Amino acid sequence: MQISNPVLKGFYADPSMIRVDDTYYIANSTFEWFPGVQLHESKDMVHWNALPAALSTTELVNMRGNPASGGIWAPDLSYADGKFWLVYTDVKIVNGAFKDCTNYLTTTEDIHGPWSAPIRLNGIGFDASLFHDADGRKYLVQQTWDHREYHHAFNGISCTEFDLSTMTLKPETERVLWRGDYVKLPEGPHLYHKDGFYYLFAAEGGTTYSHHEVVARSASLETESFGGSPTNPFLTNFDTPRTYLQKQGHGALVDTPSGEWYYASLCGRPWHQANESEVDPRGWCTLGRETSIQKVEWDEDGWPYVVGGHGGERYVEAPSDAILTEEPAAGTAGARGDNEGYGDNSQHDEFDDPSGTLDARWNTLRVPFDSDMGYVDTDKHALVLRGQGSLSNTFDLSLVARRWQAVNFDASVSVSVDPRDYRVMAGLVNIYNDQNWSWIYVTRDEKRGRVIEVAQNNRNHYTSYLKDAAVQIPNDVTSVRFRVKVRTQTYTYEYSFDDGATWTEVPVTLDAKILSDDYILQEYGGFFTGAFVGLAAVDYAGYGQEATFRSFDYAELPDNE
């Protein structure tokens, strides 16, 4: 078998990979999307199946009002003392001099949950991970933030001992282990112990095309006793601009039962406009930061290196002791997919789960799906959304969405709504964050009644494209089917009055890069997620008018590489 990278497609950033017996687990960042911390498992590193997300209640995380790309940064999953330990950060400030955040710890004996009530650890910096030493002592290592404008904001990787008897940190033990090398911006630390050395893996260079992963080591955990590898960088695509995978770096190391080593990393797969350089700008990652896995070996001096070079490889030899892992069928919850023989991530949802719950692939923003947002009507095979705030609202929003996991796909849904006025809107959304999104929707025009409009919010500049030419909906049409056709660089919207038998394209072509990490970072400090497609209802007048959605389809098409 071969690992085909990325192993987790779409927005699955900052992987923390561990092994328990013969099973591998990955935890990924989720930022402002709910539920928090996506989990996957595998026995072969090739096929990955989704597990219930770890942070599924507001007791574990409440992100209402969090800024875009705030929320859950870089979770750390570990296993010790017969249970799983999960450290995660909730970031409340993204832009400016401060990164107000809180690090929490939760545990469970069963990876499926439930997870324990969170323990508040500290707030000195993000990307915290828990190291379990062989002598039973535990340490929190983390990026350390410095708000002072005359200091570098990334003030090294610190280490603080964790007291098991009180389940609290010992702040008096805090010390800096590593200040980074010439690349700077040290973050995402993980500690490992091997052959008498403590190895510190840390990301540097920022999570863009200059992203690096470096390795340092020391015989002890004393202050700044770590020295960097002479072969750093361990992993980077800074100097490999034409390789399939880009941005590799932040991640975690794992060994196999037979003693092989692998490293799970975030990565990006940029696409380019026809008239653009492939070096600068290097491209646009609408799928966000994904997860790749590289094979690792150790040189005669005890330093790790990536097989195939520090740029990594698209196809990687799977572990020799891998146990074949069966995936769910294509189109079912948990399917990983890569359009290369393992199925894909296509989805069809009739909203008919007998329990009345949403498919696990749906996400909401900041808080869980609840009765304020709407409900699943299983008898009518429908999702009913109650209109709340606009798509720019970070507190009260009725939206469910799923990741873009391919750069070429079609997504469609039927919408039934009779808007009271122009303040009521319901339709099909493509969204990166509250400042960057577009949709096709039903609303009401004072003169023509129900109409179809297409609008885009681009860095909070709102544009209605059809205006006086908005499409009037015939009186005898009770539902409108909307479709988006995403074709790598661009996407278009269509509508149908006969449930998809015939389609009419709206004469508006939208630039997909507006929903990419690389576009967001040009003007905003939080560019860490990826594009989502979803369903939304707005009634900003505050009367909660409902809209009914039926028969959602997300169908992936082959990538044009």
Catalytic residue numbers?
14, 187
Amino acid at the residue 359: D
Q: How far, in Å, are 123, 169, 246, 446 from residue 103 at the CA level?
A: 6, 11, 29, 50
Q: How far, in Å, are 57, 187, 325, 448 from residue 169 at the CA level?
A: 25, 20, 39, 64
DSSP state letters, 280-340: SS--B-TT-SEEEEEEEEE-TTS-EEETT-TT--SEEEPPTT----PPPPTTSTT----SS
**Nearest one of 403, 473, 411 to 442, comparing CA atoms:** 473
- Cα angle, residue 435 at apex, residues 430 and 441 outer, rounded to 5°: 40
In the numeric block, the tokens 């992993």 are attached to 235
Half-sphere exposure of 278 (CA within 13 A, CB side): 12
Is the peptide bond prior to 328 cis by the omega test (within 30 degrees of 0)? no
Rounded Cα–Cα distance for residues 228 and 160 (Å): 21
Burial-class residue 426 by CB neighbours within 10 Å (0-12, 13-18, 19+): buried
The helix (H) or strand (E) run that includes residue 157 is strand 154-163
DSSP state letters, 16-74: EEEEETTEEEEEE--BTEESBSEEEEESSSSS-EEE--SB-STTT---TTPPTT-EEEE
Amino acid at the residue 383: L
DSSP three-state, residue 468: helix
Q: What is the 3-state composition of the chain as percent helix, strand, coil, each rounded to the nearest 5?
A: 0, 45, 50
Q: What are phi and psi of 446, to 5 degrees?
A: -60, -30
